[in-house]
Amino acid sequence: MPARAYWKGHLRLSLVTIGIELYPAVASSSALALHQIHKPSGKRIRYEKVAPGVGPVKMSDIVKGFEVSRGEYVTLTPKELDEIKLESKRTIDLVQFVDHCEIDPRYFEKPYYVTPTNDDVAAEGFAVIREALRSAKKVGLGQMATRGKDQICAVKACGDGILLETLRYEKEVRDSDRIFSHIDDVRIDKEMLGLASELIKRKTAPFKPEKFHSHYAAALRELIDEKRKKGKISAASDEELESGQSNVVDLMEALRKSVKGGAKGKTPARRAPARKTARRTSAGSRSKKASGRRKKAG
């Protein structure tokens, strides 16, 4: 068990309130850190807190502030910020229950493990809520306040404990229609679709995260070691540069070879300009299409 909880408070279901503790469910990235270096001297760049007309300042003299007009701020000390009256600062009230699949994946932000505080009453209530969630196959929704912000949270049974996932607010998720509106309509060839579907079917398997590893860190370490020993980086060969690029000329042929096992599915197919099956829509019709989707969404 970690020595220090990220958050301590209560979980409430109607009139049942239990003490809980939150612990981060994910570890920080193990990626190699690259620093900013002053090239002429080889010294690492450092940053100082500076106030215009004052110069470097001490951390103890820094407070948070809100700009009410240009150059005018209302400052707030940590003690004053603690006076914000939010029940969610201490209690997560489960106000609604939904199926997990009802929550759009774009809203999920960060996971935490939830455990009961070290007393018999909390342990019993925790077990009841956990098993009730498991039995109903539901996710409980509530809100919690941590470190200067208020968040939606979703809780569900997870082994012997409970998993809490913080969620983004609706205004934080960008409208996909704005991004997708420029995508042209394509008349899909039925045989191509069938071949692609067959490839997906063959490669469908249970998700096993242990099968996936980051290759970037190892490659970066090799590059750093080479630069350290030789003083320079050897240029990649044409074969290496092209190994990750598509050389597919015919999408249909690429799909057929992939299904037969000839391409082994390693290289993503890229539609060739010479074989166009797309029916491009005019800018006006695309605009009307996007507008219609937004009206339906509204």
Distances (CA, A) of 12 to 103, 140, 217: 21, 11, 43
Q: How far apart are CA 28 and CA 222, in angstroms?
A: 22
Decide if 158 is inside a domain.
Answer: yes
**Looking at this protein, which amino acid is placed at residue 164?**
L
CATH number for the domain spanning 120: value is 2.40.290.10
Residue (of 150, 140, 135, 160) closest to 88 by Cα position: 150
| pLDDT score for 132 | 96
φ, ψ for residue 192, nearest 5 deg? -60, -45
Decide if 75 is inside a domain.
Answer: no
φ, ψ for residue 175, nearest 5 deg? -70, 120
DSSP letter assigned to residue 186: B
Decide if 161 is inside a domain.
Answer: yes
Decide if 128 is inside a domain.
Answer: yes
Decide if 120 is inside a domain.
Answer: yes
State the CB neighbour count (10 A cutoff) for residue 5. 18
Per the CB < 8 A criterion, the answer to whether 80 and 63 are in contact is no
Number of domains within the chain: 1
Decide if 293 is inside a domain.
Answer: no
Decide if 87 is inside a domain.
Answer: yes
Dump strand ranges (E) for the chain: 7-13, 16-24, 37-38, 43-44, 50-51, 55-56, 64-69, 72-76, 91-93, 96-98, 108-116, 139-146, 149-158, 161-167
The first and second tokens of residue 116, run together, are 């009961």
Residuewise pLDDT in 10s, the chain (298 residues): 556 898 999 999 998 999 999 999 998 766 788 899 999 999 999 888 999 899 999 988 888 899 999 889 999 887 777 777 666 678 999 999 999 999 999 999 999 999 999 988 899 999 999 999 999 999 999 999 876 788 999 999 999 999 999 999 999 999 999 899 999 998 999 999 999 999 999 999 999 988 888 888 888 888 888 888 888 887 766 665 565 555 556 888 888 888 888 544 444 444 444 444 444 444 444 444 444 444 444 4
Q: How far apart are CA 3 and CA 6, in angstroms?
A: 10
Q: Where are the alpha helices (DSSP H) in the chain?
A: 78-81, 120-136, 176-180, 190-202, 216-230, 238-242, 251-260, 283-297
Give the dihedral sign, CA 82/87/91/92. negative
Domain that holds residue 15: 7-27+83-172
Decide if 213 is inside a domain.
Answer: no
